[in-house]
Amino acid sequence: MSASTSTPVRSGSLPNSSEDASPTSINLDALSPASRAIASGQAMTRVSQALAGATTNPTTPRPFSATHTSSSTIAHEESTRIRNDALLPSSPLTQRQINVDQAVVAARGTKRLRDESEEKLKEYVGLRENQASNNRLFAELLRFQDAIFESGLMAQQKKYELPEDLKTEIKWHSWMVALAPELCGYLGSGPSTAVYDSMRAIGVANMPNERATADVTAVISAITKKMNNIRNAIKTILNSSLDEKNIGKRYVTSVAKQLAQKSRIVITTGLLERMAFLRTWLADLPADIDAEKFWTYADKKLKEYEKELTPIKYAEKMRGILNYDMQKYERQPEEEHIQNVVVSASQIPATQKICMEKAKAKVRTGHHA
């Protein structure tokens, strides 16, 4: 009787042998959540590879075999590889973020905290891994803090309030910008921005910190409101000067003096020209333009002049409008001559000069007419 020639199979050659150093033999409870996920993913990959007939060492060449090189086998191995790759975490950082998000929910429950508290809890959980009891305690503290905030017992952030002296500065600087002959438009954010920039350049006291965006917004809002009021005041004075009954108050110097008294500015030739320009278009407002749209129409005419005229032609245009205004609204004996009210450029106060400069939205470089 011939002896059996079969060779015993070593248990270590089997995929599930205890001799195989599989990651599944590691005590996962001793690892962090991220490490457990990675270890589990690797273990599942190794088992899948073994079951699919893959070698544990991909670099070891296989013996040539028609069975292994068949197209069906190659397709099967490729499919197995794709499934195994899908089991691996995309990266430790991604898996770590997933664990933090899950730990946050486990700590604070299904009800979200205030956004600020939610971020604090997420940061705390991320820094203190495997401390579930501490996480829950911190979540309770944040929940208690939220309840105090909602009850009003804890003081909320104080709303910024403009100091009275700052309100006064806004008033004067807004008038200076609104009456600046360099102003290229009366509507939009340009005038308010010019006032704000002027106050910054001059160094007005009690201006908010530039980084305190809410406070800066409050100041600009106050400026915008003041500019709206000033436009209405200018329009009221101009409308009043159109009334023939207002004898002694219609000449351009009288109009300018009324505005100067409200604004603490000195009268310049440029101011007279700008007031003559506004009054001309207010009196000759087209029939299809509503009176409430006057400032929109005035801005349109200014932009047309700047686009179509060179700086020299623009200056000539404004002088011509002033001469026309002086003829239409003649000076009365009690009204002052222009030369008696206008100051030279060297006599303009520094504050007014800065406001005039900031009022320039751009340098007039229009095309030739």
Residue in 193, 274, 184 with CA at minimum distance from that of residue 227: 193
Instruction: Identify the pLDDT of residue 360.
Output: 84
Instruction: Identify the pLDDT of residue 79.
Output: 55
Instruction: Identify the pLDDT of residue 282.
Output: 94
d(CA 257, CA 277): 16
Residue in 358, 360, 194, 186 with CA at minimum distance from that of residue 282: 186
Instruction: Identify the pLDDT of residue 306.
Output: 87
**pLDDT by residue, tens only, the chain of 369 residues:** 444 444 444 444 444 444 444 444 444 454 455 444 444 444 444 434 444 444 444 444 444 444 444 555 555 555 555 455 444 444 444 445 557 777 778 777 878 888 888 888 777 777 655 566 677 777 778 888 788 777 766 555 667 788 999 999 999 999 999 999 999 899 998 999 999 999 999 999 989 888 888 889 999 999 999 999 999 999 999 999 999 888 888 999 999 999 999 888 999 999 999 999 999 999 998 988 888 999 999 999 999 998 999 999 999 999 999 999 999 999 999 999 999 999 999 999 999 999 999 998 644 433 333
d(CA 102, CA 96): 10
pTM for the model stands at: 0.57
d(CA 31, CA 152): 44
Residue in 195, 181, 256, 254 with CA at minimum distance from that of residue 229: 195
Task: Note the helical H segments in 52-153.
Answer: 66-69, 71-87, 92-108, 115-127, 132-151
Residue type at 330 in one-letter notation? E
Instruction: Identify the pLDDT of residue 248.
Output: 82
Task: Note the helical H segments in the chain.
Answer: 33-51, 66-69, 71-87, 92-108, 115-127, 132-151, 164-178, 190-202, 213-242, 252-263, 269-283, 294-308, 311-328, 338-341, 350-358
H helix or E strand, kind and range, residue 179: none
Tokens of 304: 């047309």
Instruction: Identify the pLDDT of residue 132.
Output: 62
- Alpha-carbon Rg for the chain, nearest whole angstrom, is 41
